[in-house]
């Protein structure tokens, strides 16, 4: 990995970072990833407009605790003044000091408003946002960006130059254009070229990583300051322990046993439940906290059990899981199937999980 005395101090403790992911990087999952060795974690995408309006569902995303440090808050919006107002509130009300500006979200309705990846079309506005935020927080100010909206409109070099001039600490490049979203090849050579052009800005690679070995290989091959792991960490937070071991030339640790996997899922669920119970004022409650926590972990559950014997049964019944008992009946079914396939004791049952024909999703 290339280093330079001119680079700004990194806000992470090792070069393997958890990417911000809407609906996934809530506090309990961030804590788990840090415990497994993530060098830093980022929150879900948080709207600066929602913060300024005082939206309870927005502020619900900003619950944190010291065990997840270093942690950055990933903010999206389009107006520098609104960013300034939101960050002022953030500094006053929360322990967050690291602000990560989202210029990479490719969701069309966000891009149309000039936010997320829409900011790549206006490097000067992005730089103005960085300047405004830097005037308020003493912590690092970083940006996560796409190279451009389309392959024929790549503006990442202008963006990097503008951010370096504005005093940003780091730029994470998701090496696909916004129109690719999360499909197709990621151009890590482009990320490496940006890294060579920058004098002070730390450059973080992101996009398409699927394993710890690939994360370490790309970190070294492209001489980057860090790499950011997103979907590959879902259901497999121990990827950070694997990456750190490989980076140090050590054998990666064994994956969790069936019993350990169940304990991990239970820890994750209990963290979500604690979050819902501890902050009732942050969310309108039409459902009990137990049901909200079950609904929030269902997406994670698909990743935890992906590829395991019995996982297709759980996938078919996912929207019927509405209570903790139903959730862990499904978990124990998969854990038991995995244990039997490996000839180990998984602590799970061998019965197919039941589902109620009357169970309904909260979206119904």
Q: So which residues are the catalytic ones? A: 105
CA distance 309 to 328: 16
Helix, strand, coil share (%) of the chain residues, nearest 5: 50, 10, 40
Q: Residue 225 corresponds to which tokens in the numbers above?
A: 């300051």
Q: Annotate 203-235 with DSSP letters as a single string.
A: EEEES---SHHHHHHHHHHTT-SEEEE-GGGTT
Q: How far apart are CA 224 and CA 198, in angstroms?
A: 11
Residue 214 sits at φ, ψ, to 5 deg, of -70, -40
β-sheet bridge partners, residue 143? 101, 171
Residues 184 and 152 sit within 8 Å (Cβ to Cβ)? no
**CA pair distance 45, 31, nearest whole angstrom:** 17
Residue 246 in tokens: 């490989």
Locate 103 and state its tokens.
């210029």
Longest CA–CA span in the chain (Å) reads 63
CA–CA–CA angle 42, 46, 47 (5° rounding) = 155
Rounded CA separation 112/316 (Å): 35
What is the C-alpha separation between 111 and 78, in angstroms, rounded?
10
Residues in the chain: 364
Strand partners, 39: none
Cα distances (angstroms) measured from residue 1 to each of 12, 157, 192: 15, 21, 11
Report the alpha-carbon distance of residue 322 to residue 3 in Å, rounded.
50
Residue 158: CB atoms within 10 A of its CB come to: 16
What tokens were used for 110? 């966000």
Residue pair 192/137 in contact (Cβ under 8 Å)? The answer is no
């Amino acid at each position: 990995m290339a280093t330079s005395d001119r680079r700004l101090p990194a806000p992470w403790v090792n070069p393997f970072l958890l990417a911000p992911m809407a609906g996934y990087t809530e506090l309990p999952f961030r804590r788990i990833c840090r415990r497994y060795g993530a060098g830093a974690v980022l929150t879900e995408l948080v709207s600066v407009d929602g913060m300024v309006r005082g939206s309870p569902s927005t502020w619900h995303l900003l619950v944190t605790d010291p065990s997840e440090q270093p942690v950055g808050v990933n903010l999206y919006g389009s107006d520098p003044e609104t960013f300034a107002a939101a960050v002022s509130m953030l500094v006053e009300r929360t322990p967050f000091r690291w602000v990560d500006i989202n210029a990479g979200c490719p969701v069309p309705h966000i891009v149309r408003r000039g936010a997320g990846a829409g900011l790549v079309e206006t490097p000067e506005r992005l730089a103005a946002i960085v300047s405004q935020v830097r005037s308020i927080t003493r912590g690092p100010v970083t940006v996560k960006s796409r190279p451009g909206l389309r392959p024929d409109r790549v503006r990442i070099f202008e963006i990097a130059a503008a951010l370096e001039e504005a005093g940003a600490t780091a730029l994470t490049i998701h090496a696909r254009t916004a129109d690719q979203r999360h499909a197709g090849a990621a151009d890590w050579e482009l990320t490496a070229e940006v890294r060579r052009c920058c004098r002070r800005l730390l450059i973080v690679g992101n996009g398409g990583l699927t394993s710890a070995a690939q994360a370490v290989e790309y970190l070294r091959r492209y001489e980057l300051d860090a790499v950011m792991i997103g979907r590959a960490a879902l259901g497999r937070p121990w990827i950070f322990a694997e990456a750190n071991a490989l980076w140090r030339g050590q054998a990666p640790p064994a994956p969790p046993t069936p019993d350990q996997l169940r304990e991990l899922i239970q820890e994750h669920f209990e963290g979500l439940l604690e979050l819902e119970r501890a902050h009732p004022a942050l969310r309108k409650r039409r459902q009990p906290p137990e049901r909200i926590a079950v609904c929030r972990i269902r997406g994670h559950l698909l990743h935890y059990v992906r590829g395991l014997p019995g996982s297709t049964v759980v996938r078919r019944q996912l929207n019927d899981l509405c209570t903790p008992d139903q959730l862990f009946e499904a978990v124990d079914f998969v854990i038991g199937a995995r244990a039997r396939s490996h000839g180990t004791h998984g602590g799970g049952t061998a019965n197919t999980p039941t589902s109620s024909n009357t169970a309904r999703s909260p979206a119904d």
